């Protein structure tokens, strides 16, 4: 979950090229949140690096926060990387969608990606983030569905994170055994999008990420 700011998808480090990285800033909860509800606070999304708006940015380099990323392995449709921006180790699995649709048809947008990141220094494991390729409609929610299970996503600019932090482990569990994750959202201009991510290899990718970022 695309220019020089901190990725909060893995994220809050200077994003020399970005789509998402460590140290997420905490901000007020979204409107409508019930008191005491476990909600993941908004995370300022990564600003696009030069070239990102034309779809040429390297999401892996961006996620590495300026540090040199190391490929740990490719598992099905998911690549697993590690890096140590600012001396703080991060691991992340990344994939692009198997298919992307927009309604109305013919609307263009930047590439979208899903990241699942771990930052042991912050005690964060398997955090799901999505960079969707366009600014979401302000104050709108997106959804991620895996089989019959559906989860609400908090959106900010072109990033999305699970709204209820208590559900994140359930989402990861569903993704580990599922076939596809379907992300639906609405852009600031009213365009609706559906991105389908293959989950082939994800369980193995997360096992490797968790092993390297205990």
Q: Give the contacts of 152 (CB within 8 A, at least 6 positions apart).
A: 141, 142, 143, 162, 163, 164
- What would the two tokens of residue 154 be? 């908090």
For domain 70-212, which CATH number applies: 1.10.1740.10, 2.60.40.1880, 2.30.110.10, 3.40.50.2300? 2.60.40.1880
Prediction pTM value: 0.74
Q: Give the contacts of 34 (CB within 8 A, at least 6 positions apart).
A: none
Helix, strand, coil shares of the chain, percent, nearest 5, are 20, 35, 45
Of the chain, the percentage scoring pLDDT greater than 70 comes to 73
Domain ranges of the chain: 70-212
- What would the two tokens of residue 105 be? 């048809």
Per-residue pLDDT tens digits for 185-214: 999 999 999 999 999 999 999 999 999 987
Of the chain, the percentage scoring pLDDT greater than 90 comes to 60
């Amino acid at each position: 979950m695309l220019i020089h700011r901190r990725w909060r998808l893995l994220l809050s480090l200077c994003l020399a090229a970005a789509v998402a990285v460590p140290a997420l800033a905490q901000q007020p909860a979204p409107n409508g949140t019930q008191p005491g509800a476990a909600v993941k606070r908004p995370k300022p999304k990564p600003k696009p690096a030069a070239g990102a708006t034309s779809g040429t940015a390297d999401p892996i380099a961006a996620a590495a926060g300026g540090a040199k990323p190391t490929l740990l392995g490719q598992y099905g449709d998911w690549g697993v990387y590690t890096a140590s921006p600012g001396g703080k180790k991060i691991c992340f699995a990344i994939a692009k969608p198997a298919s992307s649709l927009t309604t109305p048809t013919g609307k263009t947008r930047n590439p979208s990606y899903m990241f699942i990141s771990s930052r042991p220094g912050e005690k964060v494991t398997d955090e799901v983030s999505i960079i969707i390729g366009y600014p979401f409609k302000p104050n709108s929610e997106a959804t991620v569905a895996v089989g019959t299970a559906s989860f609400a996503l908090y959106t900010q600019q072109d990033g999305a994170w699970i709204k209820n932090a208590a559900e994140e482990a359930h989402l990861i569990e569903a993704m580990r055994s599922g076939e596809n994750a379907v992300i639906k959202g609405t852009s600031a201009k009213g365009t609706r999008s559906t991105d389908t991510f293959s989950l082939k290899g994800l369980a193995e990718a997360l096992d490797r990420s968790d092993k390297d970022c205990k």
